[in-house]
């Protein structure tokens, strides 16, 4: 059974991006293919873009869409052979099997613990759903990846790039809260699978997991990294090494007009939500070089292409 949780689930990224662009030009291109099929989206934490874009995508394919907010009150047990006398009222084995009785595709959104690195990097919650579900599962952002966002970002770069192999810089930025590495991990994973010249820049201590960064060049001098960039993708993440910790909120890492001046008139990208004047200065996010709303728009076409891909099996 096909699932969608990571780049290696896709054998032909170009074809998928092409299909997403087709949907962008013609949203009703496959308006009946999901008829009489149900999409069930389960959110263990809040979402604006992922929720609305995936609901829209399912509806445009003719699917019925049910969204379940599971961030309050629905406490699932994921461990096996436990005596279930805590506040966890239902086991993942039954929960995933039950959802599969009603849904033809299941989407799961979950955040990491940011305290238990091993469990997070096994993607314990998402993989438990996959193990016990009887239908295809889509990751709506897991503990360590955000593949719908990354597919969107590949699509957006494809639309705006002026050279075949653009220079793309992923820059860490400050943030007051500890955030997952998911968006950064996934972005690197997808950039490595496409034709891009990627550099990652972050302060010491924010190294990404070795299995994600691979041999991608890392430059600790942000200004050096930004030189001649065509795309600047900005995201905060907490430490992987000192797991889940925020070492610095050094605001000298914020993206400012002066930093964008170092680039090759680069486009500014961010997955949103973004903290203005912490991560990026107003002048940059409000400039014509900012692609953040294009990215949000593209979420629906990426989701539509993925849903069609999973229904076609």
Report the partner that residue 179 touches, choosing among ligand AN0, ligand CP, none (CB closer than 5 to 8 A by kind). Answer: ligand AN0
Considering only residues 242 through 271, tell me which ones interact with ligand AN0, judged by CB under 6 A: 271
Query: What does the chain look like in DSSP terms, one character per residue?
Result: ---BSSGGG-S-HHHHHHHHHHHHH-TTTTTTTTTT-EEEEEESS--SHHHHHHHHHHHHTT-EEEEEE-SSS--EE-SSS----SS--EEHHHHHHHHHHH-SEEEEE----SS-HHHHHTTHHHHHHHHH-SS-EEESS-SS--HHHHHHHHHHHHHH-SSSS-EEEEEE---SS---SHHHHHHHHHHHTSS-EEEEE--TT-PPPHHHHTT--B-S-HHHHHTT-SEEEEE----TTTTT------GGGSB-HHHHTTSSSPEEE--S---BTTTB-HHHHTSTTB-HHHHHHHHHHHHHHHHHHHH--
Report the partner that residue 180 touches, choosing among ligand AN0, ligand CP, none (CB closer than 5 to 8 A by kind). Answer: ligand AN0
> Does 272 contact ligand CP by CB under 6 A?
yes
> Does 50 contact ligand CP by CB under 6 A?
yes
Report the partner that residue 150 touches, choosing among ligand CP, ligand AN0, none (CB closer than 5 to 8 A by kind). Answer: none
Which of 6, 37, 49, 145 is the binder for ligand CP (CB under 6 A)?
A: 49
Q: Which is nearer to ligand AN0, 146 or 259 (CB)?
A: 146
Report the partner that residue 48 touches, choosing among ligand AN0, ligand CP, none (CB closer than 5 to 8 A by kind). Answer: ligand CP
> Does 48 contact ligand CP by CB under 6 A?
yes
> Does 179 contact ligand AN0 by CB under 6 A?
yes
> Does 106 contact ligand CP by CB under 6 A?
no
Residues in contact with ligand AN0 by CB under 6 A are 141, 146, 179-180, 182-183, 271, 273
Task: List contacts with ligand CP (CB under 6 A).
Answer: 47-50, 141, 149, 271-273
């Amino acid at each position: 059974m096909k699932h969608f949780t990571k780049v290696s689930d896709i054998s032909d990224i170009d074809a998928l991006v092409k299909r997403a662009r087709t949907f962008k030009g013609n949203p009703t291109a496959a308006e009946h293919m999901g008829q009489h099929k149900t999409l069930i989206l389960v959110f263990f934490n809040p979402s604006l873009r992922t929720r609305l874009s995936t609901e829209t995508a399912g509806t445009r394919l003719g699917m019925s869409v049910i969204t379940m907010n599971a961030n309050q009150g629905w406490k699932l047990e994921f461990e096996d052979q436990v005596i279930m006398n805590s506040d966890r009222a239902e086991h993942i084995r039954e929960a995933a099997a039950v959802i599969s009785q009603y849904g033809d595709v299941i989407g799961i959104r979950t955040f990491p613990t940011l305290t238990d690195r091993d469990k997070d990097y096994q993607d314990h919650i998402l993989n438990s759903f996959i193990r016990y579900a009887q239908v295809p599962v889509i990751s709506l952002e897991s503990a360590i990846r955000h593949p719908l966002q990354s597919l969107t970002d590949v699509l957006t770069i494809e639309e705006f790039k002026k050279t075949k192999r653009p220079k793309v810089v992923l820059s860490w930025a400050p943030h007051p809260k500890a955030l997952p590495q998911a968006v950064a991990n996934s972005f690197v994973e997808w950039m490595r699978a496409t034709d891009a010249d990627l550099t990652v820049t972050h302060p010491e201590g924010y190294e990404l997991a070795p299995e994600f960064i691979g041999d991608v060049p890392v430059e600790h001098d942000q200004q050096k990294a930004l030189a001649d960039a065509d795309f600047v993708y900005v995201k905060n993440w907490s430490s992987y090494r000192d797991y889940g910790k925020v070492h610095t909120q050094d605001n000298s890492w914020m993206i400012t007009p002066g930093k964008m001046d170092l680039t090759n008139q680069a486009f500014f990208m961010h997955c949103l939500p973004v903290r203005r004047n912490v991560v990026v200065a107003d002048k940059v996010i409000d400039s014509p070089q900012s692609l953040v709303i294009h990215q949000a728009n593209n979420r629906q076409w990426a989701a539509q292409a993925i849903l069609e891909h999973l229904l076609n099996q």
